[in-house]
Amino acid sequence: MAIQIFTGNIIAIIWDFDQTLIPGYQQKPIFDHYDVDANHFWKEVEKLATYYKKQEINVSSETIYLNHILTYVKCGKFKGLNNKKLQEFGKQLEFYSGIPEFFDIAKNHIEKNKEFSKHSIKVEHYIISTGLRQIIRGSEVSEFVEDIWACEFIEEPAQPEFNSKEEENNKKTDGEISQVGDFLDNTTKTRAIWEINKGTNKDSRVGVNDLIAGEDRRVPIRNMIYIADGPSDIPCFSIVNKFGGITLGVYNPDQDEHFNEVKKLQDQGRVQHFSPANYSKGSDVYKWILKNMEEIAELIVNDRDRLLSDKVRESSKHITT
């Protein structure tokens, strides 16, 4: 059996999206395009769980907004909305200062450091969001991230006997979105943490529930920095904190209420640090993230040196006088 000498050499920076990378919510371009009052839409969403409860139907208050978007499509308020349009809406998003430049700065800060590059230490960016994956894919940060976990819509559902009509069903269409393909809520966001940890997103042979020794996992959680803005990220904060990773809460500097919410996270021990969402050079967040990345990289180097010493025995030498 081959001896494993080296530990995981990947540092993962994991980002929430809304109010973490952008000041507002990613669905805004949809409402603007269709001249729909966003506040009215979200107030309807807030009441949906109670509405369906009266019909003795349980729904998720966190993801029912996806169904309400489909209802707006079906009744013509979001006429023609499809995944291509969602990607186009992503191009309209405006990011906090320093984004997307900071993505490359963070990678280069570690990967161009001679001490760390000797050990092939790499930096990867990921996004985990309860928002819409196609909007994020269309945004200018998409090219800088390894993977995106978010909610997904289907345009043309597979029909009965679709398996026997493969060529016909593989035809691409720009039809309207009609079904929910995938969803993330506050709790299922943690699944993405474990998938990054085990490397299931890099190797389909590895399942998220497969038993893998800690030292054999692609990205140890202690090599992760999780950056988010609110109570919806508490499950992810908890996992990353529990297993030795780094957690950061950020807030919109123009919103006092947002500051109060994120401060509560630190007061409760949910995050290790909190700061305004400004990623430009010299800002608190800029310096804090880079410093913590350095410390993670130093731990990786120390572990590799120690394991090399433990597992490789020096050969005997001739005695000279």
Asked, for residue 57, whether it belongs to a domain, the answer is no
Q: What are the DSSP calls for 155-195, one per residue?
A: SSPPPTTGGG-HHHHT----PPP-EEEE---TTTHHHHHHH
Question: What integer pLDDT is reported at residue 51 of this predicted model?
Answer: 96
Q: DSSP for 73-90?
A: HHTTTTTT--HHHHHHHH
CATH of the domain at 212: 3.40.50.1000
- The predicted pLDDT at position 290 comes to 98
Nearest residue to 131 (alpha-carbon basis) of 115, 153, 146: 153
Residue spans of beta strands (DSSP E) within 26-182: 122-132, 147-154, 179-182
For the stretch 134-137, contacts whose Cβ atoms lie closer than 8 Å and that sit 24 or more positions apart, written own/partner, are 134/83, 134/86, 134/87, 134/90, 135/26, 135/27, 135/29, 135/86, 135/87, 135/89, 135/90, 135/93, 136/17, 136/26, 136/90, 137/87, 137/90
Whole-number pLDDT of residue 202: 79
The count of structural domains within the chain is 1
Residue 63 phi/psi, 5° resolution? Answer: -120, 0
Predicted pLDDT of residue 308: 60
- The confidence score (pLDDT) of residue 318 equals 60
Confidence (pLDDT) at 258 = 94
Residue 212 phi/psi, 5-degree rounding, is -135, 130
Cis peptide bond N-terminal to 29, omega within 30? no
Residue 182 within a domain: yes
pLDDT confidence of residue 1 = 34
Q: Please state, in angstroms and rounded to a whole number, the distance separating the CA atoms of residues 23 and 128.
A: 17
Q: At which residue do the structure tokens 């928002």 appear?
A: 131
Q: What residue numbers bound the domain in which 228 lies?
A: 10-24+95-155+176-311
In a domain, 217, yes or no: yes
Please check whether residue 42 lies inside any domain of the structure.
no
Residue 15 phi/psi, 5-degree rounding, is -110, 135
Would you write out the chain's pLDDT as a tens digit for each of its 321 residues?
333 434 589 999 999 999 999 999 999 999 999 999 999 999 999 999 999 999 999 999 999 999 999 999 999 999 999 999 999 999 999 999 999 999 999 999 999 999 999 889 999 999 999 999 999 999 999 999 999 999 999 999 988 887 776 655 555 566 899 999 999 999 999 999 999 998 888 777 777 777 776 677 889 999 999 999 988 899 999 999 999 999 999 999 999 999 999 999 999 999 999 999 999 999 999 999 999 999 999 999 988 777 665 565 555 556 665
Is residue 263 situated within a structural domain? yes
Residue 137 lies in a domain: yes
How many C-beta atoms lie closer than 10 Å to residue 78's C-beta? Answer: 21
Task: Kindly report the pTM of this predicted structure.
Answer: 0.89
Tokens describing residue 175:
């039809």
Sequence-distant (≥ 6) Cβ neighbours of residue 44 within 8 angstroms = 68
The candidate with the shortest Cα–Cα distance to 151, out of 173, 129, 127, is: 129
Question: Is residue 33 assigned to a domain?
Answer: no
For 19: left if phi > 0, alpha if psi spans -120 to 50, otherwise beta; the answer is left
Is 212 domain-assigned? yes
